[in-house]
Chain A
Amino acid sequence: QKEVEQNSGPLSVPEGAIASLNCTYSDRGSQSFFWYRQYSGKSPELIMSIYSNGDKEDGRFTAQLNKASQYVSLLIRDSQPSDSATYLCAVSKGGGGADGLTFGKGTHLIIQP
């Protein structure tokens, strides 16, 4: 059974610090990896996608992928109160649009002003 595991938190980080979010997955056939941000009562919003081992940076966000360890992470630099949300890790065997996504339960992140 495909599983994506995340620490549910809450993870509390001071404003301006680096928030580190982690995710592990069980299906070695997974090829696409995504981080979504979800505010309460809202639909997920894509933050980052990563497809190959290593780091991918986009503004304040850095995604890291290690397929050998089946591990994905998201770093948020210079954390802002507006970053407070639930962060969902999702994986897919194909592209995120070609195949459905398997989501983790999410990590609730709180940025303390």
Chain B
Amino acid sequence: GAVVSQHPSWVICKSGTSVKIECRSLDFQATTMFWYRQFPKQSLMLMATSNEGSKATYEQGVEKDKFLINHASLTLSTLTVTSAHPEDSSFYICSAAGPQGNTEAFFGQGTRLTVV
């Protein structure tokens, strides 16, 4: 199956700093990637859709100036959490459509962000 790699797997940062999370499709090109957030004992919530070469589309209630998304190439999308606060602590997961088309999404391993 298609491989989506996320980095880092976990990160601890101080309140007020910014953190960048990378999502790469290793063996295929992904024109569209998605970013999700999962709080403890909650489900995954779609944050934004990242399109290569264009601006990301954010879901209602997600601050685009706080969660910066860049999809500069067909294999890399990045999510930057700016001025992080403890309430941003969560599990962030990206996904991308597989090489066989848009029928299935493959997930990265996720990034555990802890803001202290």
Contacts and interface: CB of A to CB of B under 8 A. Distances in A.
Interface of A: 32, 34, 41-46, 49, 51, 88, 94-106
Interface in B69-105: 91, 93, 95-98, 101-105
A101 B59 CA distance: 12
Contact of B108 (A32, A43, A102): A43
Nearest to B109: A43
A103 B104 CA distance: 14
B43 A98 contact: no
B67 interface: no
A45 B93 CA distance: 12
Interface of B: 6, 32, 34, 36, 42-46, 49, 59, 91, 93, 95-98, 101-110, 112
7 contacts: A42-B109, A96-B97, A96-B104, A98-B102, A99-B49, A100-B59, A101-B105
B46 A101 contact: yes
Given A98-B32, A100-B46, A105-B42, A43 B103 contact: no
Nearest to A102: B46
B43 A106 contact: yes
B104 A95 contact: yes
A103 to B, nearest CB: 4
**7 nearest A-B residue pairs (beta carbon):** A97-B97, A98-B102, A95-B102, A97-B102, A100-B46, A103-B43, A95-B103
